[in-house]
Amino acid sequence: MQNSRTESSNGRDLLLAALSTTGINLAEKRAPASKVANAQGPEDDDDPFSAALKELDDTNLKAEQEIKQKKAIVSVLSAPIAPIRAHVPIPLNIRASAPLQVAIPRWLNPEPVPTVPMPRDVDEVAVAEDEELGYADTYADYTPAKVRGLRHPDSVVETSSLSSVEPPDVSYHLVLPVEVVSEGRLSALQTEAVIYACQKHEQRLPSGERAGFLVGDGAGVGKGRTIAGIIFENYLRGRKRSLWLSVSNDLRFDSQRDLRDIGAKIEVHALNKFKYGSKLSSRVNGSVKKGVLFATYASLIGESNSSSKYGTRLNQIVQWLGRDFDGVIVLDECHRAKNLLPGGPAQKPSKTGEAVKRLQEKIPNARLVYASATGASEPRHMAYMQRLGLWGKGAPFPTLEEFLGAVQQRGVGGMEIVAMDMKRRGVYLARQLSFNGVTFRVEEVPLARDFVQLYDDTVQLWVDLRDRFSSASELVDPEGRQRKTMWGQFWSAHQRFFKYLCISAKVPHAVRLAKDAVKAGKCVVIGLQSTGEARTLDQMEEQGGELNEFVSTAKGVLQTLIEKHFPTGDPPRDGSLLDLLGIGDEWRRELGRTPPREQAAQPALVSSSSSSDEEDGQQTTHDDDDDFNPFRMDDDDDETDPWLRGKRPAASPSSRPAKKPAMPAAPPVPMPPPPPPPPPSAPVSAESSAQVRQWKHELLQRVDALGKRLPANALDELIDALGGPTRVAEMTGRKGRLVSTPEGTVQYEYRAREGAADSLNVQEKERFMKGDKLVAIISEAASSGISLQADRRALNQRRRVHLTLELPWAADRAIQQFGRTHRSNQVSSPEYVLLISKLAGEHRFAATVAKRLESLGALTHGDRRATESRDLSRFNIDTKYGREALDECMKALIEMLPPPVPIPSSYPSDRFFSDARRALCNVGLLSATPHGAFAFEKDFNNVPKFLNRLLGVHVTLQNALFQFLLDVLESTIQRAKQDGRFDLGILDLGANGERVDRVATYRFVLERHGCQAQVELHHVRCERGISFANACDVLQQGGGARGDGFYIAEKERGGRRLVVLVVALSGQKHSVNPLCCVYKPATGLQPRREHLTDIKGRFRRVELEDGRPHWETQWEAAASHCMHRWFTGHCKRQMVSGERCELGLRTRSFYFLSGAVLSVWADVERLLGDGPSARMQLVRVKAADGTKLVGCNLAPRRIPILLQRLSEAAVRTQTEKFDEDPLAKLGL
| Pairwise CA distance, residues 845 & 868, whole Å | 16
Is the pLDDT confidence value at 109 over 50?
A: no
Is the pLDDT confidence value at 79 over 50?
A: no
Maximum CA extent, the chain: 102
Q: Which of 429-443, 515-529, 1054-1068 has the lowest mean pLDDT?
A: 429-443
Range with top average pLDDT, 133-147, 670-684, 736-750: 736-750
- The answer to whether 1107 touches 1059, Cβ cutoff 8 Å, is yes
pLDDT in tens, 422-470: 998 999 998 887 777 777 777 888 888 999 999 999 999 999 999 999 9
* Neighbouring residues of 542: CB distance < 8 A, sequence distance ≥ 6: 559
Q: How far is residue 36 CA from its own chain's centroid?
A: 46
Q: Please tell me the predicted confidence (pLDDT) of residue 741.
A: 74
* Neighbouring residues of 772: CB distance < 8 A, sequence distance ≥ 6: none
Percent of the chain scored above 70 by pLDDT? Answer: 69
Phi/psi at 38 (nearest 5 deg)? Answer: -105, 95
Q: Summarize the confidence of residues 733-743 as an average pLDDT.
A: 76
Q: How far is residue 571 CA from its own chain's centroid?
A: 45
Q: Which of 740-744, 790-794, 930-934 has the lowest mean pLDDT?
A: 740-744
Is the pLDDT confidence value at 883 over 50?
A: yes
Is the pLDDT confidence value at 162 over 60?
A: yes
- The answer to whether 191 touches 149, Cβ cutoff 8 Å, is yes
Percent of the chain scored above 90 by pLDDT? Answer: 26
Confidence band, pLDDT 50/70/90 cuts, at residue 905: confident
Please count the other Cβ atoms lying within 10 Å of the Cβ belonging to residue 981: 18
Question: Where is pLDDT greater, at 63 or 1130?
Answer: 1130
- The answer to whether 733 touches 641, Cβ cutoff 8 Å, is yes
**Strand pairing category for 291-296 and 241-246:** parallel
Q: Summarize the confidence of residues 506-534 as an average pLDDT.
A: 89
| Pairwise CA distance, residues 492 & 792, whole Å | 44
pLDDT in tens, 675-711: 555 555 556 778 888 898 999 999 999 999 998 899 8
Write the DSSP assignment of 665-733 as a string of letters: PPPP---PPPPPPPPP-PPPPHHHHHHHHHHHHHHHHHHHHHHTTSPPPHHHHHHHHTT-TTTEEEESS
Q: Which long-range contacts (CB under 8 A, 24 or more apart) does 107-114 make?
A: 107/1140, 107/1226, 107/1227, 107/1228, 108/81, 108/1134, 108/1138, 108/1140, 109/81, 109/83, 109/84, 110/1120, 110/1121, 111/1120, 112/80, 113/1117, 113/1121, 113/1125, 113/1126, 113/1129
Pick the closest to residue 1002 from 1, 2, 6, 3 (CA basis): 6
Q: What share of the chain is helix, strand, coil (3-state, %, to 5)?
A: 40, 15, 45
Q: Please tell me the predicted confidence (pLDDT) of residue 546.
A: 62
pLDDT in tens, 994-1041: 788 999 999 999 887 667 788 899 999 888 888 999 999 999 888 778
- The answer to whether 460 touches 955, Cβ cutoff 8 Å, is no
Q: Which of 57-66, 821-830, 1146-1155 has the lowest mean pLDDT?
A: 57-66
pLDDT in tens, 702-729: 999 998 899 888 888 899 899 988 999 9
Is the pLDDT confidence value at 854 over 80?
A: no
Phi/psi at 1012 (nearest 5 deg)? Answer: -95, 140
Is the pLDDT confidence value at 629 over 50?
A: no
Q: Summarize the confidence of residues 971-995 as an average pLDDT.
A: 72
Is the pLDDT confidence value at 616 over 50?
A: no
For the chain, the average pLDDT equals 74
Write the DSSP assignment of 239-282 as a string of letters: --EEEEEES-GGGHHHHHHHHHHTT----EEEGGGSBTTS-TTS
Q: Summarize the confidence of residues 584-601 as an average pLDDT.
A: 42
Q: At what angle do helices 483-519 and 553-565 cross, to 10 degrees?
A: 170
Pick the closest to residue 526 from 775, 725, 712 (CA basis): 775
Please count the other Cβ atoms lying within 10 Å of the Cβ belonging to residue 35: 9
Q: Which of 43-47, 376-380, 670-674 has the lowest mean pLDDT?
A: 43-47
Q: Please tell me the predicted confidence (pLDDT) of residue 493.
A: 92
Range with top average pLDDT, 432-441, 604-613, 983-992: 432-441
Q: Please tell me the predicted confidence (pLDDT) of residue 731.
A: 86
Q: Please tell me the predicted confidence (pLDDT) of residue 96.
A: 30
Q: Please tell me the predicted confidence (pLDDT) of residue 784.
A: 64
Q: How far is residue 453 CA from its own chain's centroid?
A: 35
Is the pLDDT confidence value at 1226 over 60?
A: no
Q: Please tell me the predicted confidence (pLDDT) of residue 605.
A: 29
Q: Give the E-state strand segments of 172-257 in sequence order.
A: 213-215, 241-246
Is the pLDDT confidence value at 209 over 90?
A: yes
Q: Give the E-state strand segments of 160-253 in sequence order.
A: 213-215, 241-246
Confidence band, pLDDT 50/70/90 cuts, at residue 957: very high
Q: Please tell me the predicted confidence (pLDDT) of residue 343.
A: 62
Is the pLDDT confidence value at 640 over 50?
A: no
Q: Summarize the confidence of residues 34-53 as an average pLDDT.
A: 35
- The answer to whether 332 touches 341, Cβ cutoff 8 Å, is no
| Pairwise CA distance, residues 296 & 645, whole Å | 12
pLDDT in tens, 829-853: 888 888 888 787 666 556 555 554 5
| Pairwise CA distance, residues 637 & 505, whole Å | 24
Question: Where is pLDDT greater, at 1220 or 1209?
Answer: 1209
Is the pLDDT confidence value at 276 over 50?
A: yes
